[in-house]
Amino acid sequence: MKIPTLSELTAKGQSPDILFWVGCAGSYDERYKRVTRAFARILLAAEIKFAVLGTEETCTGDPARRAGNEFLFQMQALNNIQLLNGYGVKKIVTACPHCFNTLKNEYPVLGGHYEVLHHSQFLQQLINEGRIKLTDANHYQGRKITYHDSCYLGRANGVYHAPRAVLQALEADLVEMKRCKSRGLCCGAGGAQMFKDAEKGNKEINHERTEEALSTGATTIAVACPFCMTMITDGVKAKEKEQEVKVKDLAELIAEAQGLT
Amino acid sequence: MIQQLLFVLTLLVFGYFLRRRILQIRNTIRLGRQVPVTGPVAQRLRNMLLVAFGQKKMFARFIPAFLHLLIYIGFIVINLEVLEFVIDGLAGTHRIFAPFLGSLYSVLMNVFEFLAVGVLVACAVFLVRRNVLRLPRFWSAEMTSWPRLDANIILITEMVLMLAILKMNAADQILQQRDAHYTPTGKLFFSSLFIPLLEDYSTPFLIFVERFAWWFHITGILGFAIYITYSKHLHIFMAFPNTYYARLEPAGYISNMPVVTREVKTMLGLQAEGTPAEDVPAHFGAKDINDLPRTSLMAAYACTECGRCTSECPANLTGKKLSPRKIMMDVRDRLEEAGRNLRAGTKGLDDGKTLLDHYITREEINACTTCNACAEACPVLINPMEIIIELRRYVAMEESGAPPAWNAMFQNLETNFAPWKFPAADRFNWAKEN
């Protein structure tokens, strides 16, 4: 895949309309790299003038801040802001709600002011503008899909509608879990929990959430966050349902329905 | 005349104790860090109006919200009658508002009686929910004997106060037939049901009953007002400032530490060294209550231990020790302890104890997923997560005592700029693969 980087474009004296912030999970996690590629394909197909930072990108600092290491967070943040401001970045889209939250809410006070979108919002815009064309390959029509709200998208930033609007574009049968939207149950990975084992308890949070998702009878669990993807996928495996039930990111669903895979 | 003097004395004693207690609470809250209040005042007032006055967030759960509304309206409206009580008590009059309001007075008295019965019913249902149905959120680990007793005392006191009003009105209605001093109110809807029980008694006895119920009600209310300041029930006042001072940023935002920004900017050469640093804290993060912002301490007094936060907390739901309600109860207990120490003229906070470890354990704060379910669930905009983050900051930055897996993650971030141990050079490999 030929993905333009910001440094290449700048060298050519060009500037993109939007920066695609890939995030660490999107760059390194085997499963989420597929989401990154799916979203990049959608952007290419829609002829969006975008770029990525490539190897210049670094962690936003989200897990450090939430684990209490404010120094490390601010080191990451101030370095990233220098880089982004140096390139004159105005608009950012990312497929990670944690990056989204940090870039959008926590960078401004440190001098980083950008228009930040989560990929669910950007996909919704592209769909509304008619720039995403679904083909006959869309086999999600009428299929039961449940959507798991990411805390950092939902409660943290009030983005409940955009991901659902994207699923509606698939003409899928969207079934809600009992705990959804503002009462959605966390997958268990937020607040840097992704990077350590859970404290002692009587159940894993992702098992609790996966059971709820499975009880809807949906054959696809849609997610919009790399950590939720890992947690729910592990939950489905633990319940030995990985043959019948697939965990997919919104971008993967749309790319499939566009025949872009 | 004796009754008037006694009443003045009662009010003075009440005023003394209430003022003393308000100052105590103010002084303990002032142990905290002062943080600037930013954001539009209009939005803060709007929050207070909708969330505290309008109880908007209660209605996420309809049944308790409706019952709570009955008590709340009863509380506000019946307090109008308390105003009449106080004037009557001072002036030695009886039902002083009646002549001014004419027939409207009877209507109002009936409205009060309906509200009083509403309060009675709601309190009874709440007692059943707590003690018979035993809703799990009222029986979880931090709901030890005192919090449970406190809740029951509040509900029973409210019921007794309402019964006193009804009994007073019943005796009063009989006396209205016998003595011109007693202003006619007409038959009142609920208290008239008690008339057959009292009718056969002599006038002096009924006067005693009416006076006893009057005094019982007014001293009960004043005494209850003092009790409330020591109880979880203080939320009836503190909900208002708490919703006013509640943060306005998106829930996902975690407060910035300007002192760290200065240091990091100096390290990165973005700012000249030796920039004057004012308000440098003794240490980073919070170990005890004096490290927390005053808004968090005020929030501890606004918490009524309803447990909606804990019942939505993913960690608590899966058996971990963390309970957001306990975080708030611990902060309050520590505040009260510090306040007692200071008033006893002793060490204050230097009593060998701290909020972290003596009240809140590391196991608890480490279990938080920062999912914001607790803050979302709170009907009065308390945010337990802010406290958890401040405690984590102390552990991570002052002690380097974060869990080993987190320290490893920090190290990866420092060396590879990613939380995992992957080389930075591989970051763009996703575009080459399929």
pLDDT digits (tens, 9 = 90+) for A138-185: 889 999 999 999 999 999 999 999 999 999 999 999 999 999 999 999
Query: Is A27 close to B315, i.e. CB distance below 8 A?
Result: no
What B243-246 contacts at long range (C-beta under 8 Å, 24+ apart), as own/partner pairs, is B243/B47, B243/B48, B243/B51, B243/B52, B243/B380, B243/B381, B244/B44, B244/B45, B244/B47, B244/B48, B244/B52, B245/B37, B245/B44, B245/B295, B245/B298, B246/B44, B246/B47, B246/B51, B246/B295, B246/B381, B246/B382, B246/B383
Q: How confident is the model at residue B270 (pLDDT cuts 50, 70, 90)?
A: confident
User: Which residue in A203, A235, A23 sits closest to B418, CA to CA?
Assistant: A23
Contacts of A41 in chain B (CB under 8 A): none
Query: Is B419 close to A193, i.e. CB distance below 8 A?
Result: no
Residue A139 three-state SS: coil
Rg, Å, chain A Cα set: 18
Mean pLDDT of chain B: 93
Q: Out of B144-153, B268-277, B376-385, which region has the weakest mean confidence (pLDDT)?
A: B268-277
In this structure, are residues A154 and A228 in contact, taking their beta carbons and an 8 Å threshold? no
pLDDT at B180: 84
User: Which residue in A256, A14, A261 sits closest to A139, CA to CA?
Assistant: A256
Q: Which two tokens stand for residue B234?
A: 């203080």
Q: Which residues pair with A174 in a beta bridge?
A: A145
Task: Tell me how far apart the alpha carbons of residues A49 and B108 are, in angstroms, rounded to a whole number.
Answer: 70
Please say if the pLDDT value at position B43 is more than 70: yes
Q: Which two tokens stand for residue A260?
A: 């872009």
B273 Cα distance to chain centroid: 45
Residue A33: Cβ-neighbour burial (10 angstroms; 0-12, 13-18, 19+) = buried
ipTM value for the complex = 0.96
Q: How confident is the model at residue B231 (pLDDT cuts 50, 70, 90)?
A: very high
CATH of domain A6-124: 3.40.50.1860
Query: Is A156 close to B321, i.e. CB distance below 8 A?
Result: no
Q: DSSP label at A187?
A: -
Task: Tell me how far apart the alpha carbons of residues A213 and B13 are, in angstroms, rounded to a whole number.
Answer: 60
Q: How confident is the model at residue B350 (pLDDT cuts 50, 70, 90)?
A: confident
- Tell me the residue type at A255: A
pLDDT at A7: 97
**Mean pLDDT over residues B237-260, rounded?**
96
Name residues of chain A where pLDDT drops below 50: none
Please say if the pLDDT value at position B347 is more than 80: no
Counting residues of chain A whose pLDDT is more than 90, the rounded percentage is 95
Task: Tell me how far apart the alpha carbons of residues B55 and B73 are, in angstroms, rounded to a whole number.
Answer: 11
pLDDT at B276: 60
User: Which residue in A37, A11, A64, A5 sits closest to A256, CA to CA?
Assistant: A37
pLDDT at B273: 64
CA angle, B237 then B242 then B244, to 5°: 110
- How many Å lie between the alpha carbon of A239 and the closest alpha carbon of chain B? 17
B256 Cα distance to chain centroid: 27
Residue with tokens 């592990």: A234
Query: Is B427 close to A55, i.e. CB distance below 8 A?
Result: yes
In this structure, are residues A216 and A240 in contact, taking their beta carbons and an 8 Å threshold? no
User: Which residue in B79, B96, B81 sits closest to B182, CA to CA?
Assistant: B96
Q: Which residues of B298-307 are buried (b: 16+ CB within 10 A; e: fewer)?
A: bbbbbbbbbb
Residue A254 three-state SS: helix
User: Which residue in A126, A158, A142, A147 sits closest to A249, CA to CA?
Assistant: A147
- How many Å lie between the alpha carbon of A247 and the closest alpha carbon of chain B? 19
Cross-chain CB nearest to A156 (options B252, B270, B428): B252
Query: Is A71 close to B417, i.e. CB distance below 8 A?
Result: no
User: Which residue in A174, A100, A187, A95 sits closest to A140, CA to CA?
Assistant: A174
Please say if the pLDDT value at position B275 is more than 60: no
**Mean pLDDT over residues B297-320, rounded?**
98
- C-alpha separations of B143 from A88, A155, B323 in Å: 54, 27, 11
Cross-chain CB nearest to B254 (options A52, A66, A182): A66
User: Which residue in B238, B74, B77 sits closest to B155, CA to CA?
Assistant: B74
pLDDT at B345: 82
A interface test, pick of B268, B369, B398 with most A CB neighbours within 10 Å: B369
First-to-last CA distance in chain B? 95
In this structure, are residues A154 and A102 in contact, taking their beta carbons and an 8 Å threshold? no
Contacts of B425 in chain A (CB under 8 A): 55
Query: Is B430 close to A79, i.e. CB distance below 8 A?
Result: no
pLDDT digits (tens, 9 = 90+) for B60-98: 999 999 999 999 999 888 888 889 989 999 998 889 998
In this structure, are residues B378 and B387 in contact, taking their beta carbons and an 8 Å threshold? no
Query: Is A191 close to B369, i.e. CB distance below 8 A?
Result: yes
CATH of domain A137-257: 3.40.50
Q: Which two tokens stand for residue B276?
A: 């004057």
Please say if the pLDDT value at position B279 is more than 70: no
Please say if the pLDDT value at position B184 is more than 90: no
For β-strands A173-174 and A144-147, DSSP reports them as parallel
pLDDT at A239: 97
Q: DSSP label at B139?
A: S
B245 contacts: CB under 8 Å, gap ≥ 6: B37, B44, B295, B298
Contacts of A192 in chain B (CB under 8 A): 406, 409
Q: How confident is the model at residue B2 (pLDDT cuts 50, 70, 90)?
A: confident
Task: Tell me how far apart the alpha carbons of residues B434 and B431 are, in angstroms, rounded to a whole number.
Answer: 8
A-B Cβ pairs (cutoff 8 Å, strict)? 220
User: Which CATH fold topology does B283-424 show?
Assistant: Fumarate Reductase Iron-sulfur Protein; Chain B, domain 2 (1.10.1060)
Contacts of B314 in chain A (CB under 8 A): 185-186, 188, 205, 208-209
User: Which residue in B398, B299, B289 sits closest to B353, CA to CA?
Assistant: B289
Task: Tell me how far apart the alpha carbons of residues A178 and B23 are, in angstroms, rounded to a whole number.
Answer: 46
- With left for phi above 0 and alpha for psi between -120 and 50, is residue A176 left, alpha or beta? beta
Same fold for the pair A6-124 and A137-257: yes
Q: Which residues of A236-245 are buried (b: 16+ CB within 10 A; e: fewer)?
A: beeeebeeeb
Number of H helices, E strands in chain A: 11, 8
pLDDT at B277: 58
Task: Tell me how far apart the alpha carbons of residues B406 and A193 are, in angstroms, rounded to a whole number.
Answer: 9
- C-alpha separations of B399 from A71, B105, B248, B367, B395 in Å: 13, 67, 31, 18, 5
Query: Is A55 close to B428, i.e. CB distance below 8 A?
Result: yes
Contacts of B376 in chain A (CB under 8 A): 155, 182-183
Q: What are the sequence ranges of the domains in chain A?
A: 6-124, 137-257
In this structure, are residues B198 and B171 in contact, taking their beta carbons and an 8 Å threshold? yes
